[in-house]
Structure 1
Amino acid sequence: MATTNFPKIQGGGSLILAWQVRGRPILVIGGGDVAAGRILNCLDADAIVTVVCPSSGLNPEVAHRVATGVVTHIDRPFEVADLDTTPPPSLVMCAVDDPVASSQVYKECQSRRIPSNIADVPPECDFYFGSVYRDGPLQIMVSTNGNGPRMAALTRRWIGKRLPKNAGRAIVRVGMLRKKLRSVAPAPTEGEKRMKWMTEVCTKWSLEDFCEMSEEDMDKVLTYYAPNEVPSLKEVRGEEETEPEVFDYSFGWWI
């Protein structure tokens, strides 16, 4: 009999993706505090950012980005022609205090099939910004699907406080281990075995183990790949595995 024990569908969510925008043009309309956050997120993702806003509307952070040349600045209000560049913007983010103008931006983007985000107007957003915890390559996004941005920030802080301080370093180490593994077993025919072995290592080892892993540990654990074995960190270091002590009531008084 076929099983029906599948995950329950929970409608009303978003498709949360890690959108790769490296080297792609992104248009930000506005220059205030919200725009500053959008710009920083895009620059962190190595996008090519253009800001459309009169100079008088730039806050100190956005003005600094313009002055240092990390963004292109168009010193005037938005015009529809800003969407018809070659190449066109991959994404548009509008953060201006003008509901009518914002809605017009959304409609123009929709007609051109350009994904857009209109700040503080959830129905006119093709995508939302969540609250992001960042530690090196480690990124964790919390989204409330437009219901409560402050709650997303509270949840993100709660998660961040409970992660090891060097969790980002652990991710870097895993990336290094994968690269070393490719040099040990470069053949295309090894692909399936490599993936399965790395998956088993990541399943057996804890996040704390990866935080502690040194480059010497990496070289040693790779010696277990050929026989297709997955050692613990203690085995790699030649340390004895200790079993937890269990009180069996063999002495003392108990009730």
Structure 2
Amino acid sequence: MTYCVGMRLNRGLVFMSDTRTNAGLDNIATAKKMHTWEVPGERIITLMTAGNLATTQAVVGLIDERLKAPADRAPSILDAPSMFQIAREVGRTLKEVIADNKSGQQQSSNTAFGATMIVGGQIKGSPPRLFLIYPEGNFIEASDDNPFFQIGETKYGKPILVRAYDPDMTFEKAIKLLMVSFDSTIKSNLSVGLPLDYVICLTDEMKIGYQARIEEDDPYFTTVSNGWGEALKNAFGQLPEYRFD
């Protein structure tokens, strides 16, 4: 399991993912779930993955292969004319990999190869766009009514996003909000864990604005985690007392 969030702000796009992968409680490792490609000044693309690790790594591997010699290995996401076409290509590649993995397997084992992905970015001359891609290869796009996407273990971190998201917030506040969302998920599910990766893409810059990894001993994350816990206790204590009739 994993947890990834892609968020659309008025200032641009924010992506955050955890790095934990596990095949049982005794087989836990770290694996990168976020991948970024850029042509500075022309396009920036970020992809996050959740699900079967072999499936997601195969998809990223195929995308990378098609970048090395575009003339021979088309289509390439660096040549696609729009983010919509990039989402279509990622969806086709995901569907292709899952179909190959399922070949020769019994129907009951099909879901073992599943994966979902978030892809977003900007191509010069077009606005930033964000997509959620399903295992079947189809996808939906973020909008004003649905401004962020989650994949993986989504239920624990969603309430804080729903209550506190604001499209006008700064990138710094967005990262703080995502840290709270990830902290809530990490405390509720052992299959999600630090380090966390994040990427910020500023509108019309077509390059990585900020990129970092938040390690387990990160002092700011520790402060946010402890502070959020205390704030919840204080808020609960300030609510009116319930009394039996």
Question: What's the TM-score once normalised by structure 2's chain length?
Answer: 0.24
- The alignment's TM-score, normalised by the length of structure 1, stands at 0.24
- Name the structure where helix makes up a greater proportion of residues: 1
Larger RCO, structure (CA 8 Å, separation 6 or more): 2
- Bigger Cα Rg: 1
Question: Is the strand fraction higher in 1 or 2?
Answer: 2
